[in-house]
Amino acid sequence: MPVTKKQKSQILNALTAEMQSAKSIIFADFQGLSVKDLSQMRAKMREKGVKYHVAKKTLIAIAAKELGYDNIPDSILNGPIGIALSMDDELSAAKIIYETAKKNDKLKLRGALFEGKVLDLIQTKQLATLPSKEELIVQLLWTLKSPISGFHAVLHGTLAGFVRSLSAIADKKQAASA
């Protein structure tokens, strides 16, 4: 049964609202992906607060235009397109699709809408391979801790050497007196 204009309008309004509240929007070609693989990917996405939709390209393009993305290239909106909307973490959707695409060659990243810009395939892959917020915090803490740890090791080594020297002198005096 064909979709009525009223239904299309409702779908468009819902899609526009979700796209507006998303921190990033990732486009992927899912053609040929099995239902099982798609379901597994969607389950991973739900865990990370990512919504995945399959909608008509015209509705996606209209919703994007309403949000100020007038210049989405045809290479992104070519063929069957699914959109992943990251609601919590900006990188979650890109990372999940990128990791799934590495295991299944039928899923392909196409592009993204991120921080007011349209990203091409190369930029989207770079976005997907960035470290997560938690990984960056760990790297920062390690960088801050490293000089202190090194300083501690140097001081400890110097003190340990001094104690060993005193111990050796004491042993020699005990051996000489015995």
- One domain, residues 124 and 81: yes
- One domain, residues 142 and 173: yes
- One domain, residues 41 and 118: yes
For residue 2, pLDDT over 70 is answered with: yes
Res 85: pLDDT: 92
- One domain, residues 175 and 101: no
**From CA 134, how far away is CA 93, in angstroms rounded?**
16
Q: Tell me the mean pLDDT in the region 99-106.
A: 88
pTM above the 0.75 mark? Answer: no
pLDDT in tens, 9-35: 888 889 899 989 999 999 998 888 888
Q: What are phi and psi for residue 149, nearest 5 degrees?
A: -65, -45
Res 178: pLDDT: 67
Tokens of 87: 């609601």
For residue 152, pLDDT over 80 is answered with: no
At 125, which CATH number?
A: 3.30.70.1730
- Residue 83: band (very low, low, confident or very high) from pLDDT cuts 50, 70, 90: very high
- Residue 112: band (very low, low, confident or very high) from pLDDT cuts 50, 70, 90: very high
- One domain, residues 126 and 137: no
- One domain, residues 146 and 60: no
Nearest to 106 by CA among 42, 37, 34, 33: 33
Res 172: pLDDT: 86
- One domain, residues 118 and 43: yes
- One domain, residues 123 and 169: no
Domain that holds residue 137: 131-178
Number of domains the chain contains: 2
Residue ranges of alpha helices (H) inside the chain are 5-21, 35-47, 57-66, 92-103, 121-129, 133-177
- One domain, residues 152 and 119: no
- One domain, residues 11 and 56: yes
- One domain, residues 113 and 168: no
- One domain, residues 145 and 108: no
